[in-house]
Amino acid sequence: MRLLIFILAGFALLFQYNFWFGKNGYLDYKNTEKEITLRQQENEKLSQRNQVIAAEIKDLKEGVDAIEERARLQHEMVKNNETFYRIVKEHK
């Protein structure tokens, strides 16, 4: 009778080992869950960046003011009878 109990306990331990440490076990599941969370955060950041770029493209396609503003900022172009001021943020 004791032998049967030890054999059954051994099988139970074997199944528990596979559940916790085996292939596709609980630890693999938790690691995969963490990786999925990181990827979703990265995708959210990229999605926000894409929305900003899409809005900028829309502005450039639809309006001349946006093109003028971008050219003036990048190339420091100043119109006649105009004073150009650049405000630089202080880095701390």
Query: So where are the chain's domains?
Result: 1-75
25 CB burial (10 A radius; 0-12, 13-18, 19+): middle
Percent of the chain surpassing pLDDT 90: 30
Buried b (16+ CB within 10 A) or exposed e, 66-79: eeeeeeeeeeeeee
47-78 pLDDT, tens digit each:
999 999 998 888 778 777 767 777 777 776 77
Note the pTM of the prediction, 2 decimals: 0.50
28-40 pLDDT, tens digit each:
899 999 999 999 9
